Structure 1
Amino acid sequence: MSTKVFINLPVTDLGRSREFYTGFGWTLDPDFSNDDAAAVTISDTIHLMLLTHGHWSRFTDKPVADTRTSSAVINAISVGSPAAIDALVDRAVAAGADEGKAQDLGFMRSRSFADPDGHAWEVLWMDPIAQTGDWEAVQAKYGEQQPA
């Protein structure tokens, strides 16, 4: 069985967040959604749980961070091509995301965005050659750039 990842995010307006994430192509799972939470499927193994602040407080005693003004985590997901980065981020921006930084190292590219609550996302692609760790092959293809 594959390991599944569930990203839990506190949100100030569940309806707005549900519309945002489904608005650019991720899928709502109504079987695990209610007035306090919305389950969103990103892929077969990655799921997003959007939780009202009241529901979030059932899991932790810590206060909810305001991610519009503070950094908490960057959720990074990979896609199959540089064009897929642009397609996903452009759809997210059209749905209301704030566009963040872009990076292009040749062998690895990324663009970022923040959702309406300020939760940070990075969408990235890495050339399969770089994924092998064969930096001589990467340098032969892209030049002297090294990963950060």
Structure 2
Amino acid sequence: MIFVNLTTTDLERSKAFYTALGCEINPLFTDENAACVVWDENTFFMILTHGHFAQFTDKPIVDPRTGAQVIVALTRDSREHVDATVTAGLAAGGGEHRDPQDYGFMYQRSLSDPDGNLLEFTYMEPQAAEEGPGAYVDEHGAGPDPVPGA
């Protein structure tokens, strides 16, 4: 299992955002300081208030609106699923972090949650995932925005 810890300045807003993406909140590990967001059976986001997050580190907490410390990348089942996830996130107060990236064998969109934490949603063609991007590019071409060296 993986637990990704992210900070928030507004826990209720964050819970609403992540449930809009299709996640559930695990009430057993949620209180006024933190929310356990269930992405899937093995992936969880612990959304923590700044005060609670500070208990786990002596380092300064990065403001995700002005600095990046991590980008959480998650796969989707199709390009349409990537678009639908980002659309739901935008409607729930997120922001598109950069233009969509289409490499032919892989399609990505980047979304920031309302606190500025970066999420990336990706679909990769099964052949590229199994055989590497070179095999897909050799058979189908590089696509609209080729990756150097692919």
TM-score (structure 1 length as normaliser): 0.91
Within a 5 Å distance, the mapping from 1:10-25 to structure 2 comes to 10-25=7-22
1:79 positional shift: 0.8
1:100 aligned to 2:103? no
Give the aligned residue type for 2:118. Answer: A
The CA distance in 2 between the partners of 1:28 and 1:87, in whole Å, is: 20
Aligned to 1:139: 138
Partners in 2 of 1:24 and 1:136 — Cα distance?
33
User: 2:105–2:136: 8 Å Cα contact kept in structure 1?
Assistant: no
Identical pairs, percent: 41
Q: Which amino acid aligns with 2:141?
A: Y
Map 1:54-133 to 2 at 5 A.
54-101=51-98, 102-131=100-129, 132-133=131-132
C-alpha change, 1:57 and 1:128, in structure 2 (3 Å) is same
2:123 aligns to what SS in structure 1?
strand
Distance 1:75 1:137 in 2: 25
Assess if the C-alpha contact under 8 Å between 1:129 and 1:138 holds in 2: no
Q: Which runs of 4+ in 1 moved over 3 A?
A: 143-148
Distance 1:121 1:104 in 2: 17
Root mean square deviation, CA, Å: 1.6
Separation (CA, whole Å) in 2 of partners of 1:143 and 1:13: 42
Shift of 1:7: 0.5
Q: Which segments of 5 or more consecutive residues in structure 2 lack a partner in the other structure?
A: none
Q: Secondary structure at the match of 1:57?
A: helix
Give the 3-state SS of the residue equivalent to 1:39 in structure 2: strand
